[in-house]
Amino acid sequence: MNKMVLKFVFGFIIYSQTCLSQLSQSVIQSIHSRGEAVTTPNIKFTFPGTKPAAIFHNHTHHLIHNEVGTFLFTNGTGHLYQLSEKDSLSFIKIDSTIFWGYNNGCFPFTYQNNIYNLGGSGLWRVNGQLRKFNFKSHEWEIIPLNKEIPVSVNYKEGLIYYNQENGEIYSGYYIPANSAVSNADNYIPVLECHRLNLKTLTWEYLGDFKNKLLPELKNIITLAHTSKGLLVSSNMNFYLLNFSENTIYLLNNQHQNLQLLLKGMDSSFVYYRNGYIFKSDAQTIDSVSFNKDQWKRIGSLYAKPFSYFLKEWKLYWISILLLLIALAYYFFLKNYKKTIIKNYEYKKQLEKEYSKNQLPHFSESEEMLIALIEKNSMLDKKTTIEEINQCLGLQNRSIAIQKAQRHKNISSINKKFAEIHKKQLIINEKLPMDKRSLLYFIDSENLDILKKSRMNGTT
């Protein structure tokens, strides 16, 4: 095998029913010399020169390698050991941890030659704290994040994938366990995928975990972190969960060598390096080739629901809605204004047309006088004063009374008619031979008005 330094932890989870008294020093030497980062959870072993506390035997253990050295992290305790080569291969405790039990099932890893652990459960809840080991003070320090996503990685709980190359940690789902909160949904998995950017120290929501593995979440066993994604097994099927590309792959055939990875898990651990999956026990290391051509893409891992976009772009949608309402109101008013103006103009036109053929209310005597003059005018004949006096019953009255009554009736007729048609109805002219006498008539235009008004029933 070619020498290669890997600076990250692989997450193979194992529960041990037996006690392994000693892990082969040749295996540790192989891992250390080749710079392979490996996880050995819950494998109970000791080395010459090492005097671990009793708690060491009851918690999951992780081998971590970077350019600084090879380390052993005891999950749930904060205990960190470094491999010493002075006399023989042995782990020397380098932390000064006093308190423990707050980070059971946390996810340990190395980034830029520093040692971290993320999340874990304890003190009545699952947390999402990021802790960094300080090599000067030999203590763990909290690194603030933009928000807290609960992380707990156990044998069949949680999906965590570490992309060392991009400096990103992916959480496939989490359980918001918090005993201090009374909530029926407190221990129901939240099927949301999140990404932690280790450069910016920020979590980002990627979408809801949606794929055919949902019914099998409780049966998923994490095997190894590979360059192509998280290698998991469920119901004897093998999957690659590529969170970076939002893709899930299924092994094309039931690879017998990969199935062997699931056997003897109580006394071995699995890791990935340079295109191979390695399985190591107390004495030997076996490898299985990892061929990307054997995997078939079967779908996406996560997707953002429509409700997310409504919530995320709430202000945007409200602004768009208000703008649409404003535009609709503007065009409505514009068209409504046009309609009002059009209707008004049409109404005025109707009134104008109607007024052309409309006559005011005349008295009985005025109606009789108009009928007389109209009849004569239609015969192209003008009406004399004597005819008017007779029509009004003034022939036996004095000249003064006759004149006054004629003037009163004709003036009233013309005034009423002018209010509508802006002109006089009855016109007079003097006799050519006698300037003191007048003749009365209605011109042809006014005769048409009278005719049309009678036809329309407005008289």
- Judge if 344 and 219 occupy the same domain: no
> With 60 as the cut, is the pLDDT of residue 459 above it?
no
Of 97 and 59, which is predicted with more confidence? Answer: 97
SS (H, E, C) the chain: CCCCCCCCCCCCCCCCCCCCCCCCHHHHHHHHHHCCCCEECCCCCCCCCCCCCHHHHHCCEEEEECCCCEEEEECCCCEEEEEECCCCCEEEECCCCCCCCCCECCEEEEECCEEEEEEEEECCEEEEEEEEEECCCCEEEEECCCCCCCCCCECCECCEEEECCCCEEEECCECCCECCCCCCCCCCCECEEEEEECCCCEEEEEEEECCCCHHHHHHCEEEEEECCEEEEEECCEEEEEECCCCEEEEECCCCHHHHHHHCCHHHCEEEEECCEEEEECCCCEEEEECCHHHEEEEECCEECCHHHHHHHCHHHHHHHHHHHHHHHHHHHHHHHHHHHHHHHHHHHHHHHHHHHCCCCCCCHHHHHHHHHHHHHHHCCCCECHHHHHHHHCCCCCCHHHHHHHHHHHHHHHHHHHHHHHCCCCCEEEECCCCCCCEEEECCHHHHHHHHHHHHCCCC
CATH code for the domain of 379: 1.10.10
- Does 64 fall in a domain? yes
Asked which of 40-49, 113-122, 127-136, 270-279 is least confident by mean pLDDT, the reply is 40-49
Task: Report residue 455's pLDDT band, with 50, 70 and 90 as the boundaries.
Answer: confident
Cα 115 to Cα 64, 163, 196, 273, distances in angstroms: 8, 15, 16, 20
Asked which of 53-62, 114-123, 299-308, 389-398 is least confident by mean pLDDT, the reply is 53-62
In this prediction, residue 353 carries a pLDDT of 59
> With 60 as the cut, is the pLDDT of residue 48 above it?
no
- Judge if 413 and 299 occupy the same domain: no
- Does 14 fall in a domain? no
- Judge if 386 and 266 occupy the same domain: no
- Judge if 320 and 348 occupy the same domain: yes
- Does 13 fall in a domain? no
**Among the listed residues 128, 105, 107, 125, the one whose alpha carbon sits nearest the alpha carbon of residue 116:** 107
Query: Average of pLDDT values for 308-328?
Result: 76
CATH code for the domain of 256: 2.120.10
Asked which of 23-27, 94-98, 298-302, 326-330 is least confident by mean pLDDT, the reply is 23-27
Q: What is the Cα–Cα distance from 64 to 38, expressed in whole angstroms? A: 6
Asked which of 78-82, 144-148, 176-180, 265-269 is least confident by mean pLDDT, the reply is 265-269
Task: Report residue 287's pLDDT band, with 50, 70 and 90 as the boundaries.
Answer: confident
230 beta partners: 225, 241
pLDDT digits (tens, 9 = 90+) for 413-441: 989 888 888 889 899 888 777 667 889 99
Of 11 and 214, which is predicted with more confidence? Answer: 214
> With 70 as the cut, is the pLDDT of residue 15 above it?
no
Query: Average of pLDDT values for 110-122?
Result: 91
- Does 339 fall in a domain? yes
Task: Report residue 315's pLDDT band, with 50, 70 and 90 as the boundaries.
Answer: low
Residue that is last in its domain, among 295, 328, 352 = 352
In this prediction, residue 269 carries a pLDDT of 65
How many independent structural domains does the chain possess?
3
- Residue found by looking up tokens 């970077």 in the block: 66
What is the chain's mean pLDDT, rounded? 76
- Judge if 124 and 212 occupy the same domain: yes
- Does 16 fall in a domain? no
In this prediction, residue 50 carries a pLDDT of 44
Cα 355 to Cα 155, 348, 421, 422, 451, distances in angstroms: 97, 10, 7, 11, 14
- Residue found by looking up tokens 């065009």 in the block: 331
Structural domain harbouring 425: 364-455
> With 60 as the cut, is the pLDDT of residue 54 above it?
no
Q: Which amino acid is at 348?
A: K
Q: Which amino acid is at 127?
A: N
Contact between 192 and 173 under an 8 Å Cβ cutoff? The reply is yes
- Judge if 275 and 338 occupy the same domain: no
Query: Average of pLDDT values for 162-187?
Result: 82
- Does 7 fall in a domain? no
Query: Average of pLDDT values for 296-306?
Result: 86
- Judge if 210 and 191 occupy the same domain: yes
Query: Average of pLDDT values for 138-162?
Result: 85
- Judge if 219 and 80 occupy the same domain: yes
- Does 446 fall in a domain? yes
In this prediction, residue 26 carries a pLDDT of 58
- Judge if 348 and 287 occupy the same domain: no
Of 342 and 49, which is predicted with more confidence? Answer: 342
Q: Is 294 left (phi over 0), alpha (psi -120 to 50) or beta?
A: alpha
Find which of 230-234, 331-335, 358-362 is predicted with most confidence, using mean pLDDT: 230-234
> With 80 as the cut, is the pLDDT of residue 57 above it?
no
**Among the listed residues 139, 102, 147, the one whose alpha carbon sits nearest the alpha carbon of residue 122:** 102
- Judge if 295 and 405 occupy the same domain: no
- Does 284 fall in a domain? yes
- Judge if 150 and 281 occupy the same domain: yes
Asked which of 21-25, 43-47, 53-57, 341-345 is least confident by mean pLDDT, the reply is 43-47
In this prediction, residue 198 carries a pLDDT of 96
Contact between 174 and 149 under an 8 Å Cβ cutoff? The reply is yes
In this prediction, residue 233 carries a pLDDT of 81
Cα 175 to Cα 154, 186, 191, 254, distances in angstroms: 12, 7, 9, 31
- Judge if 347 and 392 occupy the same domain: no
> With 60 as the cut, is the pLDDT of residue 70 above it?
yes
Query: Average of pLDDT values for 121-144?
Result: 92
pLDDT digits (tens, 9 = 90+) for 253-268: 766 666 666 665 555 6
